[in-house]
Amino acid sequence: MDVLSVTPLLLLLSFLGCCAGQDLLPPGPVEGILGKSVTLKTLVDKPVYDFIIWNYSDGTEQTNVATTSKAGVKVNDPYKGRVTVNQTNGYLYLDGLLDSDRGDYSINIISAEEGTKTGEIHLRVLGESLL
C-alpha cells in the first residue's frame, strides 16, 4: 500500500473516534498490595458509552473481567465477589489482590455516538505469596 491509499483509512478511523489510550487511562504501572484492593482509574468523567469492557492479559491469553452497560455490570466468574465497575467513570475496583492479578488490563469504551476508545495499563502486585 502506498501513502495515498492509507491516508483515507487513517482519516476515517480518526473520524469514527477509534483511538488507543489517548487520555483514557493514566500512565502506569499501577501498584497494589497482595490481599488488599486497588482501583484502576480512568481519566474520563461520565463517558458516553453503550459498553465498558475491562479485560486482563497475563501475556499469553486475554480474559474478560467485567462488562458494563446501561443495564448493569456483568462480572466474569473468576472475578465475582472481587470486582466492581463504577458506571459513572469506568473505574475498575479489584479487591483481595492475588499474585495471578498482576499483568495488563485493557479497557474499551464503546459508543455508537463516539466510536471506540481503548487503553491499557499494567498492574504490579507487591508482596509475597505464602503458597
- Mean pLDDT for the stretch of residues 89-102: 95
Q: What is the pLDDT of residue 28?
A: 86
Q: What is the pLDDT of residue 59?
A: 85
Torsions phi, psi of 3, nearest 5?
Answer: -60, -40
Rounded CA separation 70/46 (Å)? 12
- How large is the average pLDDT for residues 52-66? 94
Residue 9 has pLDDT above 70, yes or no: no
pLDDT digits (tens, 9 = 90+) for 14-55: 334 444 445 789 998 999 999 999 999 999 888 899 999 999
Contacting residues for 3 by C-beta, under 8 A, at least 6 apart: none
